[in-house]
Amino acid sequence: MKNALFAVVVMCILTSCKKFVDKQKENFVLSVMTNGQWRISRFVEAGDTITTQFSSYSFQFNRDYTVDAINDGVAESKGSWQGDPETMNISASFTDANETVTRINGVWHIYDNSLSFVMASQANSGIVKSLRLDKLP
């Protein structure tokens, strides 16, 4: 009986520790994403480099999982975002934005990153896109 009780207590502790670690990972990702603005320094769609379409934009990711598309210093449209550190995916959705901003809609797989940049790709309906986000100083 003591062994069974001990096993249950240990399982509860381990489960709590895993939840704590997962929460810390989530908090870290939120902190990195929401502390400062980001710009798209490279955007390739179907083999065409169209980075210049994003040259006047920066993006502010917020803790409430909204993201502001800022055009020449003015918030132009608001979307939503989600990040998953386990799958290394991030998604964005702008519903009332212009054609340029809506190009970043969808799920992106992060294949390289640091605290100051993110490189991600997406394949949707046979169209492959890749981008690089850099944190503004």
Of the candidates 124, 132, 125, the one whose C-alpha atom is nearest the C-alpha of residue 107 is 124
d(CA 123, CA 37): 25
- Domain with 51, as residue range(s), is 2-135
Average pLDDT, the chain: 88
CATH number, domain of 110, equals: 2.40.128.280
| pLDDT at res. 36 | 94
| pLDDT at res. 47 | 97
H or E stretch at 118: strand 117-124
Higher local confidence (pLDDT), 122 or 11? 122
Q: What is the pLDDT of residues 44-60, one digit of tens each?
A: 999 999 999 999 999 99
How many domains is the chain built from? 1
Compute the average pLDDT of residues 93-121: 96
Tell me which of 16-20, 106-110, 120-124, 131-135 is least confident: 16-20
| pLDDT at res. 27 | 64
| pLDDT at res. 24 | 59
C-alpha dist (Å) from residue 45 to 40, 82, 100, 125 = 13, 22, 12, 12
